[in-house]
Structure 1
Amino acid sequence: MALRPLLLRYALARPNARSSHKIPTPQGGGIAVLAGAFLALGAALWLVPVESEATRSVLVLAVAVTGLGIVGAWDDIRPLPASVRLVLQAVCVGFVLLRAAPELRLFPEFLSLPVERAVALLAGVWFVNLVNFMDGLDWITVAGMVPLAAALALAGMAGTIDPMTGWLAAALCGGLLGFAPFNRPVARLFLGDVGSLPIGLLTAYLLYRLAGTGAFAAALILPLYHITDATITLLRRLARGEKVWEAHRSHFYQQATTNGFSVLGVVGRVGLLNLALAALAGVSLIWPALPVQFACLVVAAVLTGLLLRRFATGPRHG
């Protein structure tokens, strides 16, 4: 909370018609989350040295995350045009793709390297933004990202992914848990774009590394609620001809509070769903046969769809 006086002065989120909060609240807690995560990771690297290539990837990631954090901080204090934000986000995501994971291929049999890189760039930019879009309710990013990061940390311990990726996931999980008491409803501190954008990049990188092991189903299942809510909402807004870069209250989790769910009721359900998704991803990793992966994806999609429907209709329905 040492940053609180500075954030109160320069990065105060004031409520408006689209906000979920009712009183001005400082934003910028993401600075502490990311600083804590990278300090913990740095200490781990100092105590247990790893191969130089893994260390270099973390340094590249730290540079990109810092750059994206600066973009987010700037936007928190003085909003940037949407086009400028997208270009800067693409630069940071592209830097990570080319410098932190240059050898990683997901579909070498089906896509040429330039096409795959272009798809990965678009997916990375979208994931950065969807984490930002979904960070509109107290504790919802904690409920969404902590189970995901914890599952990836366990995958690192089990040898499913490389140790560095597992350590990075554990560091992110720890940073978010440290932030949780300050963001619990009613929040005293928000992540802000300075936090949500870099967390989106970190999470996208972690999932990219997981998918690179062949565990594409698990990499899709883990963030399925966030992906589905954000993507359906975006497509609906595009269909209605809305300006999708402007703030709104159309997400399913926002509809839920309008329809009578409490904030804790929403984030509790999101958290439980994400624990279930983490378990399904674990099953798909333990039994990697194609029918098992397909079954896990189907169950994950059904559970996610049921929660979205419940949020859209309210607590007295379905």
Structure 2
Amino acid sequence: MNQATDALAAMPSLLAVAIAALMSAFITWTSRPLLQRYALARPNARSSHRIPTPQGAGIAVIAATLIVASVWAAFAGVTIPPALIAATVLIALVGFADDIVSLPVLLRLGLQAAAVGAVVFTAPDTARIVPALPLALERSLILIAGVWFVNLVNFMDGLDLMTVAEVVPVTAALLLLGWLGEVSWPAALIAATLCGGMLGFAPFNRPVAKVFLGDVGSLPIGLLLGWCLLELAWRGQAAAALLLPAYYLVDSTLTLLRRIARREPFWSAHRTHFYQRATDNGFSVPRVIGEVFLLNLVLAALAILTVRAGSMAVTSFALSAGAVAIGFVLRRFSRPQAS
């Protein structure tokens, strides 16, 4: 370990989680009156909520994540990429503008691509997933995947506590991998504070939610989470980086492909994600969230197993088991429940 790692490892990382949680909860609580006045999400045919609810509490989550991570990193001598901080602020501003006045799709995607590109193309040339590919091609593919990941996190933020049920298990697993030396400390630190930020937000978002994240939260959460997973993949753990967010990836991608096949306007809001269909099929919101949370714990365990085992046979088993588990949950969500 280097000096920075020693310093951070010697400190209780859970303290960073706790401080970020408290800061996020405090900012959410104090900002609710303003959000109620200026950023009210009114229900429509595609909404899962039934009463007007303020949105924009993602400001609290992102502020807590970046502030606590930056202060902690400075104290421990750890460097968080400046491009990541700047890109997160940019994409949060894009989300905030979209929460207040809906932005044109192309403008929104262009700004998102600029934010993701700033992170991807400023990474060291030694950071590779598939060294056999030309660097420019690999980075371009990562850029496309990054923009998709940012948007799919936004798409999946359509039910009370859904993003909490996804982000908390993933970031907790990344923090554990950081303790085990399998993830860079900057990524582990961002994961820890993002986990705390989401935990502080959770009491306000439990059914029936008092406040939503809004695009100002879901978009930068997607960017930060995607960067942490990319750091994991750059360390030779691509299977784990796929397993951790696999439920989100599969639900969003299958839904997108299905809408394209039906020639639907796939870029517009809708209620055809599997988790949304589950509520239409008789599942209660707590039941959907509970099953997604348990599924993500299983996927996190499988991801950690692939990293620690370092075996192709174990990795193949974990990927297969993860696919079966996701398929089982999606099938349940797709079928009406007996009354």
Please report the TM-score for the alignment, with normalisation by the length of structure 1: 0.96
Which string of whole-angstrom CA distances, capped at 9 and with x for unpartnered residues, describes residues 13-50 of structure 1? 00000000000000001100011111211231232113
Which string of whole-angstrom CA distances, capped at 9 and with x for unpartnered residues, describes residues 125-158 of structure 1? 0000000000000000000111000000111111
Distance 1:10 1:288 in 2: 51
Counting only pairs closer than 5 Å after superposition, residues 119-134 of structure 1 correspond to structure 2 as 119-134=141-156
Where in structure 2 are there 5+ consecutive unaligned residues?
A: 1-28
Task: Note the aligned Cα RMSD (angstroms).
Answer: 1.2
Q: Which of 41, 57, 64 pairs up with 1:13?
A: 41
Q: Which of 24, 33, 42 pairs up with 2:52?
A: 24
Q: Which of 238, 256, 267 pairs up with 2:278?
A: 256
Are the equivalent residues in 1 in contact too, given 2:157–2:218 (CA < 8 A)?
yes
Q: Give the equivalent residue in structure 2 for 1:97.
A: 120
Pair 1:113-2:141 in alignment: no
Q: Give the equivalent residue in structure 2 for 1:77.
A: 100
Are the equivalent residues in 2 in contact too, given 1:221–1:277 (CA < 8 A)?
yes
Distance 2:293 2:112 in 1: 28
Q: What's the offset of the Cα at 1:113?
A: 1.0
Distance 1:183 1:299 in 2: 31
Q: Give the equivalent residue in structure 2 for 1:238.
A: 260
Are the equivalent residues in 2 in contact too, given 1:61–1:100 (CA < 8 A)?
no
Letter in 1 for 2:34: L
Distance 2:154 2:185 in 1: 27
Q: Which of 24, 27, 48 pairs up with 2:76?
A: 48
Q: Which of 197, 213, 217 pairs up with 1:191?
A: 213
Q: Give the equivalent residue in structure 2 for 1:291.
A: 313
Pair 1:265-2:293 in alignment: no
Are the equivalent residues in 2 in contact too, given 1:169–1:206 (CA < 8 A)?
yes
- Structure 1 pair 19/263, CA: closer, same or farther in 2 (3 Å)? same
Are the equivalent residues in 2 in contact too, given 1:256–1:312 (CA < 8 A)?
yes
Which string of whole-angstrom CA distances, capped at 9 and with x for unpartnered residues, describes residues 93-128 of structure 1? 00011224554111011x111111110000000000
Are the equivalent residues in 1 in contact too, given 2:42–2:53 (CA < 8 A)?
yes
Q: Give the equivalent residue in structure 1 for 2:187.
A: 165
SS in 2 for 1:145: helix
Q: Give the equivalent residue in structure 2 for 1:140.
A: 162
Are the equivalent residues in 2 in contact too, given 1:60–1:100 (CA < 8 A)?
no
SS in 1 for 2:111: helix
- Structure 1 pair 41/5, CA: closer, same or farther in 2 (3 Å)? same
Q: Give the equivalent residue in structure 1 for 2:110.
A: 87
Letter in 1 for 2:316: F
Distance 1:101 1:187 in 2: 42
Distance 2:198 2:68 in 1: 13
Please report the TM-score for the alignment, with normalisation by the length of structure 2: 0.90
Number of equivalent positions = 311
Q: What's the offset of the Cα at 1:3?
A: 1.3
Structure 1 segments of 4+ aligned residues over 6 angstroms from their partners: none
Q: What's the offset of the Cα at 1:8?
A: 1.3
Pair 1:208-2:230 in alignment: yes
Are the equivalent residues in 1 in contact too, given 2:32–2:54 (CA < 8 A)?
yes
Distance 1:298 1:316 in 2: 30
Counting only pairs closer than 5 Å after superposition, residues 151-162 of structure 1 correspond to structure 2 as 151-162=173-184
Letter in 1 for 2:118: F
Q: Give the equivalent residue in structure 2 for 1:276.
A: 298
SS in 2 for 1:69: helix
Percent identity over paired residues: 54
Q: What's the offset of the Cα at 1:163?
A: 1.3
SS in 2 for 1:99: coil
Letter in 1 for 2:308: I
